[in-house]
Amino acid sequence: MLRLREGYGTDGGELVGLQGLATTYRQVGADGFVLGFLNAHTEVDVEVVTALVGTGEVNWTFSRAIDSCISVDRAWRELRRLPGLDAVLTAGSPRGVAEGLDDLVARAEQDPFARSVIMAGGGLLPEHVPWLARAGIRAFQVGDVVRPLGSTKAYVDPDLVRTWRRLVDDAMRHAPEPS
């Protein structure tokens, strides 16, 4: 994760630090990054993102920042032009998947590019998975739900991971192939 502070903004001084982190991470073997930066107009900060990911020599995921964009349609148009993008972590709403489920499903059904890169996450619940799978979404971020009591300080519980894996696999078996 490339971020030096809470939120999705950054400034010139931080950008230099973020570039240093990206270089260090690559040197120690990282083959991808998670990042997401917005400018003062709550649009994808293409300049900052490009400065960090370069010309596509590293794969990267755009984080939940997309859920806070003033124009989500514009954000998707910008993201499709950036090299190396392999996933967009999104809940469809800044309030989480429960609020953004309909938007995620609609975007996946209407936009083949979005469908190919959406990673649904941010308050994802088991009951969301079948709906998202039927819409063609194939990536899910489970985060805290695979930790006891949902605590970020707790270890990842293999049994919880296994339960989610079965849930996703079952949803995929019953979902039609995306067109």
143: containing domain? 91-174
DSSP letter for each residue of 65-119: GGGG-S-HHHHHHHHHTSTTEEEEEE-SSTT-HHHHHHHHHHHHHH-HHHHHHEE
Query: Residue 71 domain-assigned?
Result: no
Query: Residue 25 domain-assigned?
Result: no
Query: What does each of the 179 residues of the chain score in pLDDT, given as a tens digit?
Result: 999 888 899 887 899 999 999 999 999 999 999 999 999 999 999 999 999 998 878 899 999 999 999 999 999 999 999 999 999 999 999 999 999 999 999 999 999 999 999 999 999 999 999 999 999 999 999 988 999 888 888 999 999 999 999 999 999 999 887 76
Query: Residue 13 domain-assigned?
Result: no
Predicted local confidence at residue 179, as pLDDT? 66
Query: Residue 164 domain-assigned?
Result: yes
| Closest among 70, 79, 92 to 46, alpha carbons compared | 79
Q: Could you tell me the sign of the dihedral formed by the alpha carbons of 83, 89, 94, 97, in that order?
A: positive
Query: Residue 129 domain-assigned?
Result: yes
> How many domains would you assign to the chain?
1
Question: In this structure, are residues 121 and 88 in contact, taking their beta carbons and an 8 Å threshold?
Answer: no
Q: Is the pTM of this model over 0.75?
A: yes
Amino acid in the structure at residue 133: A
Query: Residue 54 domain-assigned?
Result: no
Query: Residue 106 domain-assigned?
Result: yes
Predicted local confidence at residue 64, as pLDDT? 96
Q: φ, ψ for residue 118 (rounded to 5)?
A: -65, 130
Query: Residue 77 domain-assigned?
Result: no
